[in-house]
Amino acid sequence: MPEQPVSDVTIYHNPRCAKSRQTLELLRARGIEPAIVEYLKTPPTAGELAAVVEKLGVGPRDVLRGKEAAEAGIAGLEGEALLEALAANPAALERPIVVRGDRARIGRPP
């Protein structure tokens, strides 16, 4: 069996989200086959989220989807408590997030 290419790009992806699908298509059109993390099926840990937030250069609130956070009852949380809550409620995580090396970007717009 041939080896799968190893990618240094990871996308936190929701296949039901149009922006996430568009971002994935854009990466592939540029010849990049990213590692795909379907974060609703395999949620990142609070530690993984902390690393992503650091690479984004933002705070945890900046990766929060307002409506989903309110529905999950986590909109008022901050810092580590918010990261823990996002790990437990991944639908409240902004999407898509693309990570490459020590940098990351939110794919809105793609």
Active site residues: 17
Cis ω for the linkage preceding 109 (within 30 of 0): yes
Helix 46-56 with 79-88: angle, nearest 10 deg: 120
Contact yes or no for 99/23 (Cβ under 8 A):
no
Name the H helices within 30-78: 46-56, 66-72
Query: What's the CA gap between 9 and 11, in Å, rounded?
Result: 7
- Sheet with 9-13, side-by-side order of all strands: 35-38, 9-13, 97-100, 103-106
